């Protein structure tokens, strides 16, 4: 765990704009006392929530970082249904998530596409949260490390070491995510994070040792503290257990109290 712990949520295709604003209002109210040097909070809502969410965060003077769930790799063009970096910036996003498991596996995105998105997001001044994760069959065949290394090496192929401070990585084993997910235990997650850290250092030298590595996949109030105690885990990236502001705030408080 680094001195500053990361707490984030992706609300996926849940929460309308109005629901997102209510949620952010409550989350800010509950967590604004947490010193920014101890915790970086971030929320990644639906595209249509971004504008109203930006307005709410600015009104509250909140330090919650606002992110987008995906992004096309061109500023404009014949890409029906895509969203461009210019649109996301205008709507108020400061962070772009790339390569979430559901993008890779439900929408068949490739590592080469994630590479282009990462490059484009950095070119437009965003922070990037690159998600990586192995599938159950990789775990069964013992090929998880290879898969994760390929996802990192291709996804980050065009990132220069001096840009690494704008990159965050979320490790989310595919089998751990969502309603049917089985959370990774801290031993397994810690081992994978050590391997990921080694790869980041291999890619970016000293700068790679500072890239925040977040764990995601069925994080909940019961396992959050144990996961956060892993030296190699710098943050928690949470779905369902963070969509209620009280529950998310309780997780933050418990993790920070255990680190104090």
Give least dist CB 161 to ligand G3H, A.
27
In the complex with ligand G3H, the residue whose CB is nearer, 207 or 251, is 251
SS3 for 143-173, per residue? CHHHHHHHHHHHHCCCCCHHHHHHEEEEECC
* 172 belongs to the catalytic site: yes
Of 257, 250, 260, which is closest to residue 27 (Cα–Cα)?
Answer: 250
Taking residues 96 to 115 in sequence order and writing x for each that binds ligand G3H by CB under 6 A, - otherwise, the string is ----x---------------
Catalytic site residue from 28, 102, 172, 186? 172
What is the β-pairing status of strands 213-216 and 167-171? Answer: parallel
Size of site (CB under 6 A) for ligand G3H: 15
Owner of token pair 């967590």? 31
Residue 194, judged by CB atoms within 10 A of its CB (0-12, 13-18, 19+), counts as: middle
Residue span binding ligand G3H (CB under 6 A) among the ranges 29-37, 58-66, 199-207, 236-244: 236-244
In the complex with ligand G3H, the residue whose CB is nearer, 43 or 121, is 43
Give least dist CB 106 to ligand G3H, A.
11
Position among 52, 173, 208, 217 found at the interface with ligand G3H (CB under 6 A): 217
- Any contact of residue 72 with ligand G3H (CB under 6 A)? no
Position among 45, 155, 208, 216 found at the interface with ligand G3H (CB under 6 A): 216
Instruction: Give Cα 258 to chain centroid, integer Å.
Output: 22
- Taking residue 184's Cβ as centre, other Cβ atoms within 10 Å add up to 25
* Dist CA 221 CA 259 (whole Å): 15
- Any contact of residue 178 with ligand G3H (CB under 6 A)? yes
* Dist CA 225 CA 260 (whole Å): 12
In the complex with ligand G3H, the residue whose CB is nearer, 197 or 240, is 240
- Any contact of residue 92 with ligand G3H (CB under 6 A)? no
Burial 136-168 (b: 16+ CB within 10 A, else e): eebbeeeebbebbbebbebbbeebeeebbeebb
Question: For 202, which DSSP code?
Answer: H
Position among 120, 211, 230, 238 found at the interface with ligand G3H (CB under 6 A): 238
- Any contact of residue 251 with ligand G3H (CB under 6 A)? no
In the complex with ligand G3H, the residue whose CB is nearer, 161 or 221, is 221
- The residues annotated as belonging to the active site are 100, 172
Q: Which residues bind ligand G3H (CB under 6 A)?
A: 10, 100, 172, 177-178, 181, 216-219, 237-241
């Amino acid at each position: 765990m680094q001195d500053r712990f990361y707490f984030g949520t992706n609300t996926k295709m849940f929460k309308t704009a109005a629901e997102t604003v209510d949620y952010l209002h409550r989350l800010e109210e509950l967590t604004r006392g947490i010193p920014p040097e101890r915790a970086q909070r971030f929320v990644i809502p639906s595209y249509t929530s971004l504008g109203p969410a930006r307005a709410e965060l600015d009104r509250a003077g909140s330090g919650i970082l606002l992110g987008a769930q995906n992004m096309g790799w061109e500023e404009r063009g014949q890409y029906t249904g895509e969203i461009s970096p210019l649109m996301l910036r205008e709507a108020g996003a400061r962070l772009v998530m790339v390569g979430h498991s559901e993008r890779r596996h439900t929408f068949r995105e490739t590592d080469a596409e994630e590479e282009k998105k990462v490059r484009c997001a950095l070119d437009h001044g965003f922070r990037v949260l690159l998600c990586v994760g192995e599938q159950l069959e990789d775990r069964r065949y013992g090929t998880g490390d290879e898969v994760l290394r390929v996802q990192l090496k291709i996804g980050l192929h065009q990132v220069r070491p001096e840009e690494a401070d704008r990159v965050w990585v979320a490790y989310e084993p595919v089998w751990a995510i969502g309603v049917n997910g089985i959370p990774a235990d801290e031993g397994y997650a810690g081992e994978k994070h050590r391997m990921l850290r080694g790869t980041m250092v291999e890619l970016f030298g000293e700068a790679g040792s500072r890239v925040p590595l977040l764990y995601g996949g069925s994080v909940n109030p019961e396992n959050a503290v144990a996961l956060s105690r892993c030296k190699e885990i710098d943050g928690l990236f949470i779905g369902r257990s963070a969509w209620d502001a009280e529950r998310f705030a309780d997780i933050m408080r418990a993790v920070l109290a255990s680190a104090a």
